[in-house]
Structure 1
Amino acid sequence: MWIDTHNHFDAPDFDLNRQKKWQQAQALGVSAQCLMGVRLGDLSRQVRVADELPDTYFALGLHPLFVGELVLDAAIAVLTHTIERYLNHPKFIGIGEIGLDGRKAHGGKLSVPLEKQCAFFKAQLALAYDYDLPVFMHSVKAEDKVLQYCKRVGVRRGIAHAFGGSEQQARQFITQGFKLGVGGAMTYPRAKKYQRLIQTLPLSAFVLETDAPDMPPVWIKDGANQVSELPRIAATFAEIRGVTPNELVPVIWQNTGAVVPAIAALNCIKISM
């Protein structure tokens, strides 16, 4: 019923009980999930986990906060080789998690210099453009620059993960062809701006995500976020929007399928059954 468009279910956090956790999520109504790439050394593990679990898809990419020690040309060569290897894999869905992060670390500096983040982001956008693949984007305090690069490269399909920008920026992402990923952040009482976006923007703009094991919703007080929280996240979204979960389901499937054709195909299969 629900699709988790962005998580890290291949993370070591789930090594002891990954199969059980996915079965629990499925029993609660999570029909599919999309695993995002983070580190260069983790890509093969990510593919293995996706292969082991039903209705589990993967994107390949380098997260902006984990490129600090990498050499650009060498890392992009490895990523390109990996993309080409899995280009026709039925569970490969795009390039991600890529983007920019403008948060300051201790001492007022970025944990990875913005110049280096931008170099990796542009190179990965170019791969998405060359192979005609959607992108799954990390954009924190850098929405304008992320949009600028997407427009410059010509990438027009993807998801802005955990979108936290303004309404004006949101509409620019939508115009560029992107969906907005929403998850646990919207469940907090202080997230008034986020909730207004959900109430104001077209329903066709949104997809759902957990980012598990990160970005827990308000009701998780300790421990890792879980993919099985997605139905409750969806119910919270529906309540904020003023629709029922049943009304939301087909819209979310359609929105996700517009970015990830494999998900649209999965929906057709489930409906035919």
Structure 2
Amino acid sequence: MRFIDSHCHLDFDELADNLTKYMSDALASGITQFVVPGISLAQSKSLLAFSQKHPSCHISFGLHPYFLTAHSRDEMALLADLAEQNSEQLVAIGECGIDSQCDDLELQQALFKSHIVLANRLGLPMIVHHRQSHHLIAQAFKQTPPQFGGVIHAFSGSLQQAQYYLKLGFKLGLGGTITYPRAKKTREVVSRLPLSSFVLETDAPSMPVFGFQGQINVPVRLIDIFAQVCQLRNESEDEIAQALYATSCRVFSI
């Protein structure tokens, strides 16, 4: 079986000292490719060299809500220029989105719309971050409709919210959240929607799976997430693995 970790921050400092081991452990478990999102202007720039050094890593450019500053409007224009100049090396725009726990929702909403415009212009999917913000993301999508879908990262929500995103051409990123028994609503989504609705992701080094709380999350934990998906589905493990892999390839044109 082959897997793609469709969202992991392999360039983060927490993984740097043992990155070779983490990637070889993942490969030994069948995880052959990785999508590494951008979170800031400087880090997005650095991903160009990172992806050349690590050919199994596919990259995207974006401004994450956590890292927005007073200069972010200017940085968005620079990010758009950088993306246009390097569009052939990108598989998506993001990580971008709206997070109700971060400051300046007005700025977040404005920049999120700018990301949608950029993704539409470049013909790329989006990697969308959300936290208690489905209504704000839906509002932005209504005002500036995304044309090339993407992934709702770390999806956590209701069946109705999931179906809304699917109708817009998005897939749902399944990560550590679904391994927790308390995530009943999201686990129900996994069990009820078509298998083609999902991709797997770790968000390494963040979002640890159940049983590994307090530890650095690593790509090989994707196998634990896959095992949880298998418990919630009726298809065979091979069929589930093939479908998840194929969906990631389609979304990101891998």
TM-score by length of 1: 0.88
What is the percent sequence identity of the aligned residues?
33
Partner of 1:31: 32
For the Cα contact (< 8 Å) 2:84–2:122, is it kept in 1?
no
Whole-angstrom distance in 1 between the partners of 2:199 and 2:206: 17
Larger displacement relative to structure 2 (177-186 or 16-25): 16-25
Q: Could you tell me how far 1:131 is from its partner in structure 2?
A: 1.1
Which amino acid counterpart does residue 135 of structure 1 have in structure 2?
M
Unmatched tracts of structure 2, length 5 or more: none
Question: Residues 65-214 of structure 1 correspond to what in structure 2 (within 5 A)?
Answer: 65-72=66-73, 74-89=74-89, 92-103=90-101, 111-156=102-147, 157-214=149-206
Q: Could you tell me how far 1:221 is from its partner in structure 2?
A: 3.1
Partner-residue secondary structure (3-state), 2:6:
strand
Q: Could you tell me how far 1:203 is from its partner in structure 2?
A: 1.2
Whole-angstrom distance in 2 between the partners of 1:123 and 1:221: 35
Q: Could you tell me how far 1:69 is from its partner in structure 2?
A: 3.4
Runs of at least 4 residues off by over 3 Å: none
- How many residues are paired up? 252
Q: 1:194 to 1:71 in 2, by over 3 A?
A: closer
CA RMSD in angstroms, aligned pairs only: 1.3
Partner of 1:271: none
Which amino acid counterpart does residue 166 of structure 1 have in structure 2?
S
Q: Could you tell me how far 1:43 is from its partner in structure 2?
A: 1.5
Q: Could you tell me how far 1:53 is from its partner in structure 2?
A: 1.3
Which amino acid counterpart does residue 152 of structure 1 have in structure 2?
Q
Partner-residue secondary structure (3-state), 2:88:
coil
Partner-residue secondary structure (3-state), 2:63:
coil
Partner-residue secondary structure (3-state), 1:133:
coil
Q: Could you tell me how far 1:94 is from its partner in structure 2?
A: 1.1
For the Cα contact (< 8 Å) 2:157–2:185, is it kept in 1?
no
Partner of 1:246: 238
Unmatched tracts of structure 1, length 5 or more: 104-110, 263-273
TM-score by length of 2: 0.95
Which amino acid counterpart does residue 117 of structure 1 have in structure 2?
Q
Whole-angstrom distance in 2 between the partners of 1:192 and 1:20: 34
Question: Residues 216-255 of structure 1 correspond to what in structure 2 (within 5 A)?
Answer: 216-255=208-247
Q: Could you tell me how far 1:184 is from its partner in structure 2?
A: 0.5
For the Cα contact (< 8 Å) 2:172–2:198, is it kept in 1?
yes
